[in-house]
Structure 1
Amino acid sequence: MRRDLATVLVEWQETWIPELIEREFDLSLVPWELNKVVTFAGCRRTGKTYLMFQLINELAKTAEKESIFYINFEDERLEKSIETLTELIPTIEELYGKKERLYLFLDEIQNVENWDSWVRRVNDSRRDVRLFLSGSSSKLSSREIPTSLRGRAITFEVFPLSFREFLKFKEFKIPEWLEFSREKPELLNLLREYVLYGGFPEVVLTGDVRIKRMLVRDYFNTIIALDMVERYGIRNPKELRAFIRLLLNSEYSSLSKLERTMRSLGYSISKATLSNYLRYLQECYFAFPVEVYSPKVKLRIQHPKKVYFVDSSFLTFLSIKFGENFGRLMENTVFIELLRRGKEVNYATGDSWGVDFVLPDEETLIQVSYDVSNPETMERELKALKKAKRLFRWEEAVLITWDTEKKVDGIEIVPLWRFLLEGC
């Protein structure tokens, strides 16, 4: 028996899980009785571990405690090797005996090389073992999960708190019909906090802005150090940081332009390397490049990409240009909400107009603007939506604002809070 592995297992059974605020997660979606591996993929600190704990709490209502085990593969005491995985079940059975069914929750499993081969073998050969995996890499997502696990896994992507979850963490009770009177000022104040500082659970529960800043910068440094530099063997972390800073301060990103800018800063770097960096950022759920909407592949490639970030707090605390640009923060918030809802997202552009979000599957256009009280601003935003509607021959168009709600020329204008709580 491996002493370090046994120590971790016994420690888990003795300490169990901490108190937690439950996320809005539909437990009925978990295929408890099917022979499927359940995976949770998302950026660091978004709450994947606590979501696993939430499932463990549910399991503990009907399953024996000593049949449920959680292991974090970022624990420095564990060797990150396939041998550790191979010895896991035998060690549990030696410590606690053979169980009718064993539930294994394995956190940050992507740190173990060739983890997928072990998972497939156990899933195929041990019908008495159920596997729940998490990782801060899209390698565990349904889009990129290893071929060996295709058809054997169901994936849940985990993002920072939704606005509804944020309000729950803040102990704000949402009125049943979303008709606000006395609660409206408090709701808008909380919404402003959410847009500025995002939905990382630990950050949300911290009231001091200085500590929020420290936490977000720590997350950023950890993502770079562990999820990028270490995982992908990046030799020049300073170069990578400069590239990310450019993305944080640019609404649109063209690899050619980024290459020229990086070279002007003294970095000898190719477009291929920049393209790899952007892919790495997406794979660790930190940044999401969005293509222009076009049936022509060439146009999609040629046009600059719009880049959004997993949480608006990175823009607030790490960018120079967008720290006080509330419209940009609102747009990033809307994008993550669309991603959370599983939407395919593009953007649209034309001569002197642009639309923030194009949802091809729903044939819907979404524009985001903080303040449309100025008639010229309202006209500009509506004009862009109308042009896109004619171009694509679509009917659905929505303008999301801070707190304006009406209908103009067939276009719904909805406040951000309503979109986040109800959709559109």
Structure 2
Amino acid sequence: MLELADTPDIKVITGVRRSGKSKLLEALAQKISGRQPDANIIRINYNLTDFEDIIDYRSMEAYVEERYEPGRQNYLFIDEVQMCRSFEKAINSLHAREKYSIFVTGSNAFLQSSDLATLFVGRTYEIPVYPFSFGEYLAYYPSQNIYDSLTSYISDGGMAGSYMYRTEEQRRRYIDSEVLNALVVRDIVSKYKLKNEQLLHALIDYLMDNVGNLTSIRSIADTLESNRTKADHKTIGKYVDALCKAFAFYRIRRYDIRGKRYLRSEDKYYLVDQSFRFARLGTKNMDYGRVLENIVAIELLRRGYEVYVGVLYKKEIDFVAIKQGEKLYIQVANSISEERTFEREVAPLLAVRDAYPKILIARTYQPEYQYEGIRIVDAADWLCGSNPQNQ
């Protein structure tokens, strides 16, 4: 992110609550200070009471302008910007002065990807932040056996704040109560003025339990109705949209590979971090293949890919990942040790006739090998990026 420091855009760091946005902002400021000792860095952190008097856009702009130093490179870092009333007016005005390199973070529900163009009339550059990847987890918990580490990561997840708690019960309570309920849900209810919080929780449980399954808004409504949770498809659609905008879930659309068109009937939803599912639902009905698929989906997004569910001749390919004109076709499985499972997983990839790379990611516990032009890659190796070709 350091290479963006001197670009003229408004740099907006987005992501789910407690994913490390504030820490990233702080680390960037420190790196700039180390690289440019003469830089003038202006900070506003609304988590601190030091800034509780800067509560409207005029006082924010006045505070920043008073600290501007001509003849030096001026950087502006604002954390939890939504706590300032009409903050977008101050940010747009400061950007128009062309004197500052601006970085901001905000609540996941109040500073969303879909809102940026409306909020900021100047150019914006979104910097998405996700919970710890498996590679970052390994940096935090060094281990020579990455295969065992992946087993731990599957249940621990990437919410680094939970790593400070010693027991599994404490970690789950932190993730469910302190992150999901207190922050994500509270933000969503406040932002969208949702009236039925019980429905929102039921919807979260449903989406968590159906990670990686094809899902339609109508089918969700029908299932919740059968479980005596009153909901119509219009309300469900609104609530699902709110959860996705708050970065709690990511909607992955279906793509017809042969017809080269998007399919509208059903989508898949992936959880921003699998630890939420373990904290909320425990290990009941646990499908480790689906959980691993969830981890791969978020990793592809983290690596900057556009991600779709592929459909070809009525067969489903877990992911079609696109970046800079290149495609990857990816299947994910927890285990392919049984011949029938292996054949089932490679069949959709073998049906694709173009020359783009095809990968089967599974827990093989062995080095990469090839089968009929398909790369068979161990999940731990692929996730930690130990092979440069896996990036």
Shorter-chain TM-score tier? 0.7 to 0.9
Matched, 1:369 2:333: yes
Residues 235-244 or 198-207, more deviating: 198-207
Equivalent residue, structure 1, for 2:360: 399
Give the superposed CA RMSD: 2.9
Contact 2:9 2:125 in 1 (8 A): yes
Matched, 1:165 2:136: yes
Q: 1:123 aligns with which of 85, 95, 103?
A: 95
Deviations 1:359-382 (A, max 9, x none): 244232100111111111111111
2:171 match: secondary structure: helix
If the length of structure 1 is used for normalisation, what is the TM-score?
0.80
Deviations 1:272-306 (A, max 9, x none): 2111111111111110111111277996211x211
Q: 2:171 aligns with which of 212, 223, 227?
A: 212
How has the CA–CA distance of structure 1 residues 138 and 241 changed in structure 2, closer, same or farther, with 3 Å as cutoff? Answer: closer
Deviations 1:90-142 (A, max 9, x none): 34676xx65335433212223445322221111112x3333210124377466
Equivalent residue, structure 2, for 1:412: 375
If the length of structure 2 is used for normalisation, what is the TM-score?
0.86
Equivalent residue, structure 2, for 1:176: none
Contact 1:348 1:356 in 2 (8 A): yes
Provide the identity percentage.
Answer: 25
Instruction: Give, as a single letter, the amino acid of the residue that structure 1 aligns with 2:341.
Output: T
Contact 1:72 1:108 in 2 (8 A): yes
In structure 2, what is the Cα distance between the partners aligned to 1:321 and 1:253? Answer: 22
Contact 2:255 2:261 in 1 (8 A): no
Q: 2:203 aligns with which of 243, 256, 260?
A: 243
In structure 2, what is the Cα distance between the partners aligned to 1:122 and 1:49? Answer: 21
Residues 374-383 or 203-212, more deviating: 203-212
Residues 314-323 or 236-245, more deviating: 314-323
Instruction: Give, as a single letter, the amino acid of the residue that structure 1 aligns with 2:159.
Output: F
* Mapping for residues 44-123 of structure 1, pairs under 5 Å: 44-61=17-34, 62-63=36-37, 67-72=41-46, 78=52, 81=55, 83=56, 85-91=57-63, 99-100=69-70, 102-123=74-95
Deviations 1:56-108 (A, max 9, x none): 21133234698432312686983795x2x3213434676xx653354332122
Equivalent residue, structure 2, for 1:379: 343
Instruction: Give, as a single letter, the amino acid of the residue that structure 1 aligns with 2:4.
Output: V
Instruction: Give, as a single letter, the amino acid of the residue that structure 2 aligns with 1:312.
Output: Q
1:366 match: secondary structure: strand
In structure 2, what is the Cα distance between the partners aligned to 1:297 and 1:279? Answer: 25
* Mapping for residues 4-403 of structure 1, pairs under 5 Å: 26-27=1-2, 29-32=3-6, 34-61=7-34, 62-63=36-37, 67-72=41-46, 78=52, 81=55, 83=56, 85-91=57-63, 99-100=69-70, 102-125=74-97, 127-137=98-108, 140=111, 144-147=115-118, 149=120, 152-172=123-143, 183=144, 186-217=145-176, 218-250=178-210, 251-294=213-256, 300-302=263-265, 304-319=266-281, 324-349=286-311, 353-360=315-322, 361-387=325-351, 389-390=352-353, 393-402=354-363, 403=365
| Structure 1 residue 150, shift from structure 2 partner | 5.3
In structure 1, what is the Cα distance between the partners aligned to 2:200 and 2:48? Answer: 23
In structure 1, what is the Cα distance between the partners aligned to 2:200 and 2:10? Answer: 34
Contact 1:289 1:305 in 2 (8 A): yes
Deviations 1:357-415 (A, max 9, x none): 1124423210011111111111111112212x14xx35421000112432111110001
Deviations 1:187-216 (A, max 9, x none): 222121112221112123444212211121
Contact 2:131 2:272 in 1 (8 A): yes
How has the CA–CA distance of structure 1 residues 297 and 278 changed in structure 2, closer, same or farther, with 3 Å as cutoff? Answer: farther
How has the CA–CA distance of structure 1 residues 92 and 112 changed in structure 2, closer, same or farther, with 3 Å as cutoff? Answer: closer
Deviations 1:244-271 (A, max 9, x none): 1111111232111111122223333221
Instruction: Give, as a single letter, the amino acid of the residue that structure 1 aligns with 2:69.
Output: K
How has the CA–CA distance of structure 1 residues 224 and 158 changed in structure 2, closer, same or farther, with 3 Å as cutoff? Answer: closer
Contact 2:41 2:77 in 1 (8 A): no
Contact 2:131 2:158 in 1 (8 A): yes
Instruction: Give, as a single letter, the amino acid of the residue that structure 2 aligns with 1:231.
Output: K
How has the CA–CA distance of structure 1 residues 74 and 219 changed in structure 2, closer, same or farther, with 3 Å as cutoff? Answer: farther
Contact 1:169 1:204 in 2 (8 A): no
Instruction: Give, as a single letter, the amino acid of the residue that structure 2 aligns with 1:386.
Output: L
In structure 2, what is the Cα distance between the partners aligned to 1:90 and 1:118? Answer: 9
| Structure 1 residue 421, shift from structure 2 partner | 2.5
Instruction: Give, as a single letter, the amino acid of the residue that structure 2 aligns with 1:124.
Output: A
Matched residue pairs, number?
A: 376
1:235 match: secondary structure: coil
Residues 244-253 or 112-121, more deviating: 112-121
Instruction: Give, as a single letter, the amino acid of the residue that structure 2 aligns with 1:411.
Output: I
